[in-house]
Amino acid sequence: MINPVKHIVIVGGGTAGWLTAGVVAAHHQSRMPGGFSVTLIESPNVPIIGVGEGTWPTLRTTLSRMGVSETDFFRECDAAFKQGARFNRWTTGAANDGYYHPLMLPQSFGQVNLVPHWMAGESARSFCDAVTPQGSICDDGLAPKTIATAEYDAIANYAYHLDAGKFAPFLQRHCCTKLGVRHVLADVERVNMAENGDIASVTTTQAGDIEGDLFIDCTGFKALLIGEAMGVPFKQCSDILFCDTAIAMQVPYDSPDSPIASHTISTAQSAGWIWDIGVPTRRGTGHVYSSSHISHDEAERELRAYIGPAADGLNARKIPIRSGHRETFWKGNCVAVGLAAGFLEPLEASAIVLIELSAKIIAERMPACREVMDVVASRFNATTLYRWGRIIDFLKLHYVLTQRTDSDFWRDNVRPDSIPDRLQELLLLWRYHSPWFHDEFDRAEEVFPAASYQYVLYGMGFRTEVEIEALARDDALAEQAMRENARQTERLRAGLPRHRDLIDKIVAHGLQPV
């Protein structure tokens, strides 16, 4: 090979930089003795944004493949379990308006679509409760496993809530001590371009010039490499997703043994929504809102009113949101990951999973040489662009299904000109055929399965014409699946521990290593 790709340089730390470093280094451990290297350059003067605390179940596989101990992760990252999200007041705005998007698939999902059977039954149970135990588990404040369950194994599917400010240093220690990642604390002064338009090196204040074969931009919103040096434009989607600001506050518990919710709570407001995430030492809360529909002061008042007296004396942190993504994610020998690639409001915790998915492709399809890099980049860009588009669709789905008309924000969100064409087509299709895994969700690049669409659609009162043929064909199988779900719900409610109790046991005694 004329120009082998052996030296990977990641510019920027934080969750994006260190997760990418860990995924790439772990995948290429066998190549390290032959000169393959991963170098991460991190400024000692740039703070971590550290707001996003929600993850997807994919993080379990990612951490396991990196060789991270789940017990250590819980002990050092103030971690808790996440079993999905509850959306309050999104449909009608009433006090009792709420539904779950759980992480477990509906019962027998690969064999039968339970939507038409649930609708035909006109059951008093919510769709979630009819097809999965996870909503009931969350209602009861239970954990998704027991202390006897091995690391990363699950009884009920789960992800994590975590302290992002502790997560990045935890990953850094693991990457440097266990995976051979070289850590350079230095400020990048200049990006040096080669004649062919690639990045040849970066010049740093403290460590001089650092050369590489592939540069990964994890510099956050600054996008030092992909934006400033490579000139890749940013494509906004503020015409679809209106929220452009967040206010974050950390709320202490009333007592050290206060219950910890094992799901994210998202509560709709007059011009946005409030997140509420529990970790062992505190609750992370924040108001995501549209500055075109509400003032900052009024948005902060809504957040403080939601929190109640515990908000007295707490500082609020304002964070701008620029919704959108790069037009191209991999150009030349530079690929953007994390906030450098783009950002969307954290309604479904998509930020960290996009980092994982990008890092996984980079690691698994690492170009052998520069000559083949453009082919790899083209495929990476197609896959990544598709994923961003589907996440935008899915986030918008939460808004377009609303029945709220109490503010301009909610009325504007259902305007047809704000709804992507693909989503409009699917909404029309779903009036007659409910989404299922083998229909429009058959691509390997799907980030949200058909089950996720089912939970949101039917949680928010969407109606699909009952499919008579499906009822007749699958009636016995559907009845059996719903009975099994009821039995499983009772077993899990009786056998799973309280969420905080399990976390306390993990910290004290540890989980069984895999």
Asked whether 10 and 218 are in contact (CB, 8 A), the reply is: yes
Mean pLDDT of 393-410: 98
DSSP 3-state assignment of 411?
helix
What is the arithmetic mean of pLDDT over 7-29? 97
Residue 33 confidence class, pLDDT cut points 50, 70, 90: very high
The two structure tokens encoding residue 223: 């996008």
Q: What is the per-residue pLDDT for 380?
A: 98
Q: Residue 115 — very low, low, confident or very high, per pLDDT cuts 50/70/90? A: very high
Q: Do 387 and 357 touch, CB atoms closer than 8 A?
A: yes
Residue 51 has pLDDT above 60, yes or no: no
Torsion of CA 444, 449, 453, 455, to 10 degrees: 180
d(CA 335, CA 342): 12
Query: What are 318's two structure tokens?
Result: 């304002």
- CA dihedral sign, ordered 220, 223, 224, 225: positive
pLDDT at 500: 98
How many beta carbons lie within 10 A of that of residue 334, not counting itself? 26
CA–centroid distance for 398 within its chain: 16
In the numeric block, the tokens 């500055």 are attached to: 291
pLDDT at 50 over 60: no
Residue 146, pLDDT score: 98
Distances (CA, A) of 64 to 49, 242, 359, 514: 25, 37, 15, 9
Q: Are 87 and 398 in contact (CB under 8 A)?
A: yes
**Which pLDDT band holds residue 195 (cuts at 50, 70, 90)?**
very high
pLDDT score of 364 more than 80: yes
Q: What span, in angstroms and rounded, lies between the C-alpha atoms of 408 and 258?
A: 38
Residue-wise pLDDT for 87-97, tens only, equals: 999 999 999 99
pLDDT number for residue 46: 76
Task: Tell me what the mean pLDDT of segment 229-238 comes to.
Answer: 98
By the 8 A CB rule, do 1 and 369 touch?
yes
Q: Distance between CA 370 and CA 429 in Å, rounded? A: 44
Q: Give the Cβ contact number of residue 456 at 10 Å.
A: 23
Q: pLDDT class for 45, splitting at 50, 70, 90? A: confident
What's the pLDDT score for residue 293?
98
User: What pTM value is reported for the model?
Assistant: 0.96
Task: Please state, in angstroms and rounded to a whole number, the distance separating the CA atoms of residues 212 and 471.
Answer: 59
pLDDT per residue as tens digits for the range 284-318: 999 999 999 999 999 999 999 999 999 999 999 99
| 82 is a catalytic site residue | yes
Mean residue pLDDT of the chain comes to 95
The pLDDT value recorded for residue 124 is 82
CA angle, 114 then 117 then 119, to 5°: 105
Q: What is the mean pLDDT of the segment spanning 174-201?
A: 98
How far, in Å, CA of 323 to CA of 158, rounded? Answer: 27
**Mean pLDDT across the stretch 224-234?**
98
- 351 pLDDT band, cuts 50/70/90, is very high
Cβ pair 460, 90 in contact under 8 A: yes
Beta carbons within 8 Å of 351's beta carbon, 6+ residues apart: 52, 338, 339, 343, 344
Rounded CA-CA distance 143/279 in Å is 13
- Out of 6, 82, 331, 396, the active site residue is 82
Beta-carbon contacts of 509 under 8 Å, excluding residues fewer than 6 positions away, are 147
Whole-angstrom distance, CA of residue 323 vs CA of residue 330: 19
CA 168 – CA 154 distance, rounded (Å): 24
Helical segments of 319-449, H only: 350-364, 370-400, 408-413, 421-430
The answer to whether 434 and 467 are in contact (CB under 8 A) is yes
Closest CA to 118 of 493, 486, 491: 486
Q: Per DSSP, what are the bridge partners of residue 98? A: 88
Beta-ladder partners of 317: 248
State how far the Cα of 276 lies from the Cα of 259, in Å rounded to an integer. Answer: 13
Q: What are phi and psi of 234, to 5 degrees?
A: -105, 130
Query: Residue 184's CB: how many other CB atoms inside 10 A?
Result: 16
Q: DSSP state, 440?
A: S
Asked if the model's pLDDT at residue 122 lies above 80, the reply is: no
| pLDDT of residue 29 exceeding 80 | yes
pLDDT tens-place string over residues 240-272: 999 999 999 999 999 999 999 999 999 999 999
C-alpha dihedral, 328 to 331 to 334 to 336, nearest 10°: 0
How far is the C-alpha of 82 from the C-alpha of 150, rounded, in Å?
A: 17
Residue 479, classified by CB atoms within 10 Å of its CB into exposed (0-12), middle (13-18) or buried (19+), is: middle
Per-residue pLDDT reduced to its tens digit, 459-499: 999 999 987 777 878 889 999 999 999 999 999 999 999 99
Which tokens belong to 74? 């819980």
Is it the case that residue 442 has pLDDT exceeding 80?
Answer: no
Going by pLDDT thresholds of 50, 70 and 90, the confidence category of residue 503 is very high
- Alpha-carbon distance of 259 to 141, in angstroms, equals 7
CB 281 within 8 A of CB 260: no
